[in-house]
Amino acid sequence: MSSLTPAPSSLSRTSFLAIPSAFSKFQLCPLPSFPSSSSRVLCRGGSSLQHVATDFKLVLHDALDASGIDTTHAREAREEFCSQIRRFTEIEKETSICINRSVDLGRTALYIAAEDDSLVSHSSVPLPVDAFISRLDDLSMDYCPHYKPEYDSSPEKFLESIERFLYVHKGFSRANENLLELRPLYLHSVLTHRSGSALMLSLIYSEIMKMLRLWGLLYFDAEIFFPHDALSLPNGYHKQKSKESDQVHIMTSGNLLVKILNNLKHAFWPFQHDSNKSLFLRAARAANCVDRSDFVGESGSQIASAKAAQHRLDRGVWTSVRFGDMRRSLSACERLILVNNNDANEFRDYSILLYHCGLYEQSLQYLNKYQELKNLQAEVNSSDPLSSLEDDAADKLMMRLNLIMMEQGWSQPHYARNFLGNSSEPW
């Protein structure tokens, strides 16, 4: 219906997001050196000041550069990612993805994909983020011929028409989360293959909603019901008719990014054995920081998997099909610290990966930061057996790192065990 096609001047995403045209340069990589003086990276969003990094330097890109791997595109994608999250305020983080205005969530998700693509492909050209943004916008444009005036009389019919367009006409589907498939975790792959996680489908649905609202077609307060099971599709509903039980199914902007990054962190964690344990305990187990008696009932395959993961790292193999990828797990950890730097566990998890990389000085600094945050939060988890195991493992790791630094001194090269430079590929 040509009458419903928005004028070109109204198609700009920035007109909806109200994003300023220019920002001061955000220097994330490289950061000033340490440990002689620590540096804090700050992001400014409007009039509020947001701390979105740590007192310490994030090391992945510099480690890769030291290995002779060009990280130009990865650094650019990281800086663009930071240019988005610097707009986050605490209120914005708690805002539904359907009405988020300050942060372009679609673009932010694509910068996550662009960095990871650069890390593994070593391509001379970056992922075409703008082309995938256009593809995302085209979905909203393509819906216009499917719109009918009678939908104005019923919000339910309107939302049903959007879902019929998205899930039937366009063929988007929920990926099987039990399969070790990575494409559903990246927005550009979901737009290409039309199969994705619930997070990515919710993000796409919300972007369509925002564009339809911008064009004046979405006239009521709509929300997306985010499914917590493994099969259901995200669905829209009229918020005025919502129930109290629907509140737990509202996906906020901050939670969306944290969950996207956590999914990547889990998918690429180099220690995939024993899914009943936390990521940290799996890595601590491989580093012999956990008493073997605490892993009662481990199967032979689980023990072999742990030994194989450590053997790959010792040989300098940082990535292996179905067994994680150190670069992308480090990248996810770093971005989680940038987005969610009040979570002490993110510093702890990052620390133990750095330990496995042989970056002992940096590992110790991040583990100290974890202890500092943990003490400030004063969380009492002594009743949780898993938490007690994690605390014991963190203490053993701290003791070992202190002994290493006492023996080697602070003159140890930053990239002593530089497996990141290995050219092995997962395909």
pLDDT at residue 241 tops 70: yes
Band the pLDDT of 166: cuts 50, 70, 90.
very high
Q: What is the mean pLDDT of residues 116-128?
A: 93
Band the pLDDT of 423: cuts 50, 70, 90.
very low
Query: pLDDT (tens digit, 9 = 90+) per residue, 96-114?
Result: 999 877 899 999 999 999 9
Check residue 43 and give its pLDDT: 44
Spatial separation of the C-alpha atoms in residues 228 and 126, rounded to whole Å: 34
pLDDT at residue 177 tops 80: no
Q: Return the top range by mean pLDDT from 52-66, 140-154, 282-296.
A: 140-154
Please provide the average confidence, as pLDDT, over all residues in the chain.
80
Alpha-carbon torsion 274, 275, 277, 279, what sign?
positive
Bigger pLDDT: 415 vs 154: 154
Q: Which of 5-19, 108-122, 247-261, 352-366 has the lowest mean pLDDT?
A: 5-19
Check residue 393 and give its pLDDT: 94
Bigger pLDDT: 139 vs 303: 139
Check residue 45 and give its pLDDT: 35
Check residue 344 and give its pLDDT: 94
Band the pLDDT of 9: cuts 50, 70, 90.
very low
Q: What is the mean pLDDT of residues 179-206?
A: 93
pLDDT at residue 62 tops 80: yes
Q: Return the top range by mean pLDDT from 92-101, 145-154, 254-263.
A: 254-263
Spatial separation of the C-alpha atoms in residues 20 and 218, rounded to whole Å: 25
C-alpha triplet 348, 368, 112: angle, nearest 5°: 40
Max CA separation in the chain (angstroms): 76
Query: pLDDT (tens digit, 9 = 90+) per residue, 16-44?
Result: 444 333 323 223 333 333 333 333 444 43
Q: What is the mean pLDDT of residues 388-405?
A: 93
Q: Which of 42-46, 114-118, 142-146, 166-170 has the lowest mean pLDDT?
A: 42-46
Asked if residues 326 and 353 have their Cβ atoms less than 8 Å apart, the reply is yes
Q: What is the mean pLDDT of residues 216-242?
A: 91
Band the pLDDT of 54: cuts 50, 70, 90.
very low
Q: Which of 204-208, 334-338, 413-417 has the lowest mean pLDDT?
A: 413-417
Check residue 311 and give its pLDDT: 55
Domain limits of the chain?
Answer: 59-259, 273-291+298-323+342-406
Q: How many CB atoms lie within 10 A of CB 156?
A: 12
Check residue 247 and give its pLDDT: 86
Q: What is the mean pLDDT of residues 183-192?
A: 96
Check residue 293 and give its pLDDT: 56
Band the pLDDT of 392: cuts 50, 70, 90.
very high
Structural tokens at position 326: 């150190």
3-state helix/strand/coil string of 32-61:
CCCCCCCCCCEEEECCEEEECCCCCCCCHH
Check residue 180 and give its pLDDT: 66
Asked if residues 152 and 301 have their Cβ atoms less than 8 Å apart, the reply is no
Bigger pLDDT: 37 vs 370: 370
Spatial separation of the C-alpha atoms in residues 293 and 372, rounded to whole Å: 29
pLDDT at residue 207 tops 90: yes
pLDDT at residue 138 tops 50: yes
Q: For strand 222-225 and strand 173-174, is the pairing parallel, antiparallel, or unpaired?
A: unpaired
